[in-house]
């Protein structure tokens, strides 16, 4: 759900905010650089009072045991105050001791509850700014689609064409009885098995369930009982969605055999729509990037899901398998999730279409929680129209996820997009400049590390310069379509300062891993990986977390003002907008925007199979359409028209 910011694997200090453009696994580097680890106090005392073995599974004593923690001393308080950046006199320090001891006892008492990931906080995030009217409830309506697609060249005997058909095309074949759902399920299951050894996008095949669902769909369709456009269409689920009878691994070692007794709400809704679940797909361990854990039968731990356009590259993440399998023609569509880039980044890398809905549009019941106030569930497909058909089946309140708003999603692909008020983030389309790396950033580095950092910086500059041509062509195309474009800028706000919220909530979601020592099982153990991030976040004071939320209220108001004059904003898919819109809740539609040519800067594979892990001739680029809160349909309408004009979504890798 969280692609650590689409950033780099290089050292934290080396990354400015605008480098949020590579892979989810690297965002913790930016997080550290922007101050997540600078705030601390009560948590610091708890850490400072541990023994050398405090990180082991026995570090936290049970209520009936002798206390495992030493008394809090003035020296500990003084050390913690330095990290918390507050000044204390000796007298003030002494006065704190009794209260801090009581606070620690309360903290340890709550730990004894071993809160499961499914228990959400009582505070529910609402992205609608104070004083602004909320969404108006409206009845559920079907998507208004365009003309029926051509199916003349599609048949089981032409697998490559059929495998990459859109949902609408597959639906036409199924409803006209030119194809059975069972044939389609078998085709996709065979392709998943064939290409998984290379692309590593499957965690668990749901073959028995799929074949039973497909047979039932064929029976209903033959009887004239069509459930809608998804009836009989095979799909894949990111493996943080619970599916009864199958493991839900969250992509992480230590969770290989985790099961749930009830399907996630999104799974239930797709079942009701007649869709056929064929696989649970890979994700970064606990939604970190494309590097996942150790599911059964998958070889060595830490396999990286691959980009079908260039299998030497990762697919990005954390919706790694969802994007890769869709791009490879191995599912009809997939479900991904995003906290900070986890739909946008893999959709860009793999050349597919992603729709990250407004926060609070789709219920997350039965899905792994990472950041309660940021997690979003959305479709990854081959076209915008397909995204709308899937979103229409899964949005709306379920009575459990209290963040879900009773807002409509009325997608109409016959509307006149020339009537839309469209802006573009002007600074994001300007020619990139080569960033100067400061002496402070390289302080303490070896000559080899400095040289590698310089090379990474230059490589990324070359790629960004090359890719800029695709962005400017997109604006020219939109103008040719009769769209009036108005330049606009995002509010002047330090959105990266809000990363404290992400750090604190994600650490709370998996606190039991940190306090028990089971975080050692996770495949990533570098400074930018979850285990270290979760431990770092123990030092964020509650006061500073709340202050960050208050700052977020200012950011939301500023973003609302910016969006109030527009129906859609056009932007490159990376950059600061990714942070701003994910924290403030606005939706995004990410669409393919062409392929890099033979003159593109070459792909350079890094030693650790990490950054730089994208780019190179023949790989996709994307463009993003943003919209105001709960105006997802407007962004979809313009993105669909752009796709119809350019046809980039029809390109697919040669498997």
d(CA 37, CA 35): 5
Mean pLDDT, range 521-547, rounded to an integer = 91
Q: How many Cβ atoms are within 10 Å of 525's Cβ, its own excluded?
A: 12
Instruction: Identify the residue whose tokens are 């694997």.
Output: 9
CA 399 vs CA 365, 403, 405, 564: distances in Å = 10, 10, 10, 30
Q: Which of 352, 320, 348 minimizes the C-alpha distance to 336? A: 320
User: Contact at 8 Å (CB) between 369 and 271?
Assistant: no
d(CA 189, CA 220): 22
| Poorest-pLDDT segment among 43-57, 206-220, 471-485 | 43-57
User: Contact at 8 Å (CB) between 380 and 322?
Assistant: yes
Sequence-ordered list of residues with C-beta below 8 angstroms from that of 235, at least 6 positions apart, any chain: 270, 275, 276, 277, 278, 331, 332, 333, 334, 335
Task: Give the global pTM.
Answer: 0.89
Sequence-ordered list of residues with C-beta below 8 angstroms from that of 26, at least 6 positions apart, any chain: 4, 5, 6, 7, 8, 9, 10, 289, 528, 610, 611
Extract the tokens encoding 641: 């028209």
Extract the tokens encoding 593: 């925007």
| Residues comprising the chain, all counted | 655
Sequence-ordered list of residues with C-beta below 8 angstroms from that of 136, at least 6 positions apart, any chain: 407, 408
Residue 12 CA, chain-centre distance (Å), reads 21
- At residue 69, the 3 state secondary structure works out as coil
Q: How many Cβ atoms are within 10 Å of 353's Cβ, its own excluded?
A: 29
Mean pLDDT, range 540-550, rounded to an integer = 94
Extract the tokens encoding 447: 């000559």
pLDDT score for 68: 74
pLDDT score for 614: 84
pLDDT score for 468: 97
User: Contact at 8 Å (CB) between 221 and 287?
Assistant: no
pLDDT score for 510: 97
Q: How confident is the model at residue 25 (pLDDT cuts 50, 70, 90)?
A: very low
- At residue 85, the 3 state secondary structure works out as coil
User: Contact at 8 Å (CB) between 621 and 348?
Assistant: yes
Mean pLDDT, range 472-490, rounded to an integer = 98
**For residue 6, pLDDT beyond 60:** no
d(CA 539, CA 39): 6
**For residue 608, pLDDT beyond 70:** no
pLDDT score for 56: 37
Mean pLDDT, range 258-275, rounded to an integer = 98
pLDDT score for 284: 93
Sequence-ordered list of residues with C-beta below 8 angstroms from that of 644, at least 6 positions apart, any chain: 146
d(CA 3, CA 370): 11
The full 3-state SS of 90-102, as one line of letters, equals HHHHHHHHHHHHH
Mean pLDDT, range 543-570, rounded to an integer = 97
* Alpha helix stretches (DSSP H) within 339-444: 344-350, 384-394
d(CA 581, CA 563): 11
pLDDT score for 20: 33
Sequence-ordered list of residues with C-beta below 8 angstroms from that of 488, at least 6 positions apart, any chain: 423, 424, 425, 426, 562, 565, 566, 569
Q: Which of 229, 239, 246, 232 minimizes the C-alpha distance to 266? A: 239
Instruction: Identify the residue whose tokens are 């905010």.
Output: 17
d(CA 303, CA 314): 10
Mean pLDDT, range 225-237, rounded to an integer = 98
pLDDT tens, position by position, 174-205: 999 999 999 999 999 999 999 999 999 999 99
Mutual orientation of helices 207-222 and 181-199 as an angle, nearest 10°?
A: 150
User: Contact at 8 Å (CB) between 588 and 635?
Assistant: yes
pLDDT tens, position by position, 560-594: 999 999 999 999 999 999 999 999 999 999 999 99
Q: Which of 410, 562, 584 minimizes the C-alpha distance to 486? A: 562
Parallel/antiparallel/unpaired status of strands 202-205 and 310-314: unpaired
d(CA 440, CA 70): 38
Mean pLDDT of all residues in the chain? Answer: 88
Sequence-ordered list of residues with C-beta below 8 angstroms from that of 496, at least 6 positions apart, any chain: 17, 30, 34, 576, 579
Extract the tokens encoding 270: 């797709």
| Poorest-pLDDT segment among 32-36, 493-497, 539-543, 596-600 | 32-36
d(CA 80, CA 92): 13
d(CA 9, CA 610): 7
**For residue 302, pLDDT beyond 70:** no
pLDDT score for 300: 52
Instruction: Identify the residue whose tokens are 């039968």.
Output: 297
**For residue 28, pLDDT beyond 80:** no
pLDDT tens, position by position, 101-121: 988 998 898 989 999 999 999
* Catalytic residue ranges: 238, 318, 342
Q: How many Cβ atoms are within 10 Å of 59's Cβ, its own excluded?
A: 15
Torsion over CA of 355, 359, 360 and 366, rounded to 10 degrees?
70
pLDDT tens, position by position, 470-479: 999 999 999 9
Q: Taking the chain, what is the end-to-end CA distance rounded to the nearest angstrom?
A: 27
**For residue 77, pLDDT beyond 60:** yes
Q: pLDDT higher for 136 or 385?
A: 385
**For residue 34, pLDDT beyond 80:** no
Specify burial of residue 64 (Cβ count, 10 A radius: 0-12, 13-18, 19+).
Answer: exposed
| Poorest-pLDDT segment among 69-78, 219-228, 259-268, 297-306 | 297-306
Q: Which of 278, 280, 274 minimizes the C-alpha distance to 260? A: 280
d(CA 556, CA 372): 17
Q: How confident is the model at residue 607 (pLDDT cuts 50, 70, 90)?
A: low
């Amino acid at each position: 759900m969280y692609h650590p910011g689409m950033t780099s694997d290089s050292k934290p200090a080396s990354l400015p905010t605008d480098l949020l453009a590579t892979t989810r696994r690297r965002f913790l580097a930016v997080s550290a650089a922007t101050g997540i680890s600078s705030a601390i106090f009560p948590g610091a005392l708890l850490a400072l009072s541990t023994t050398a073995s405090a990180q082991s599974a026995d570090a936290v004593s049970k209520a009936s045991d002798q206390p495992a923690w030493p008394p809090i001393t003035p020296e500990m308080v003084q050390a913690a105050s330095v990290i918390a950046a507050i000044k204390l006199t000796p007298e003030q320090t002494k006065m704190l001791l009794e209260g801090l001891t009581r606070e620690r006892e309360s903290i340890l008492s709550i730990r004894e509850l071993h809160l499961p990931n499914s228990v959400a906080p009582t505070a529910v995030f609402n992205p609608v700014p104070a004083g602004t009217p909320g969404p108006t409830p409206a009845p559920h309506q079907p998507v208004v689609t365009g003309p029926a697609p051509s199916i003349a060249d599609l048949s089981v005997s032409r697998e490559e064409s059929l495998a990459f058909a859109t949902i609408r095309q597959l639906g036409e074949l199924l409803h006209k009885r030119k194809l059975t759902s069972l044939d389609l399920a078998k085709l996709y299951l065979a392709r998943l098995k064939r290409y998984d050894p290379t692309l590593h996008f499957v965690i668990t095949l749901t073959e028995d369930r799929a074949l039973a669902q497909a047979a039932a769909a064929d029976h209903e369709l033959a009887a004239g009982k069509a459930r809608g456009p998804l009836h009989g269409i095979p799909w894949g689920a990111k493996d943080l969605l619970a599916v009864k009878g199958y493991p839900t691994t969250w992509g992480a070692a230590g969770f290989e055999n985790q099961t749930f007794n009830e399907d996630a709400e999104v799974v239930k809704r797709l079942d009701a729509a007649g869709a056929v679940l064929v696989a649970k797909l890979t994700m970064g361990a606990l939604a970190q990037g494309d590097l996942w854990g150790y599911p059964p039968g998958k070889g060595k731990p830490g396999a990286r899901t691959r980009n079908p356009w260039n299998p030497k590259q990762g697919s990005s993440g954390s919706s790694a398998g969802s994007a890769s399998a869709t791009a490879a023609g191995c599912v009809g569509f997939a479900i991904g999730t995003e906290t900070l880039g986890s739909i946008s980044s893999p959709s860009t890398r793999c050349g597919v279409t992603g729709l990250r809905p407004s926060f609070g549009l789709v219920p997350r019941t039965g899905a792994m929680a990472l950041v309660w106030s940021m997690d979003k569930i959305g479709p990854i497909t081959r076209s915008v129209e397909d995204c709308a058909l899937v979103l229409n089946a899964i949005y709306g309140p379920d009575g459990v996820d209290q963040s879900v708003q009773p807002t409509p999603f009325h997608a109409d692909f016959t509307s006149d997009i020339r009537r839309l008020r469209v802006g573009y983030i002007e600074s994001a389309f300007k020619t990139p400049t080569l960033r100067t790396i400061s002496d402070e950033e390289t302080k303490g580095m070896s000559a080899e590390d400095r040289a590698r950092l310089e090379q990474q910086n230059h490589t990324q500059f070359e790629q960004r310069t090359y890719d800029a041509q695709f962005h400017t062509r997109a604006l020219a195309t939109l103008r040719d379509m009769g769209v009036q474009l108005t330049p606009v800028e995002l509010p002047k706000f330090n959105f990266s300062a809000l990363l404290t919220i992400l750090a604190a909530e994600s650490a709370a979601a998996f606190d039991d891993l940190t306090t028990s020592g089971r975080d050692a099982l996770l495949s990533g153990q570098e400074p930018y990986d979850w285990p270290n991030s979760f431990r770092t976040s123990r030092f964020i004071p509650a006061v500073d977390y709340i202050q960050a939320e208050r700052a977020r209220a200012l950011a939301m108001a500023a973003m609302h003002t910016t969006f109030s004059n527009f129906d859609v904003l056009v932007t490159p898919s990376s950059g600061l907008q990714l942070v701003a819109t994910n924290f403030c809740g606005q939706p995004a539609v990410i669409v393919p925007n062409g392929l890099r040519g033979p003159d593109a800067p070459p792909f350079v594979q890094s030693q650790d199979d990490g950054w730089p892990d994208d780019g190179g001739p023949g790989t996709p680029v994307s463009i993003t359409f943003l919209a105001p809160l709960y105006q997802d349909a407007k962004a979809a309408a313009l993105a669909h028209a752009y796709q119809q004009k350019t046809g980039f979504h029809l390109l697919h890798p040669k498997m």
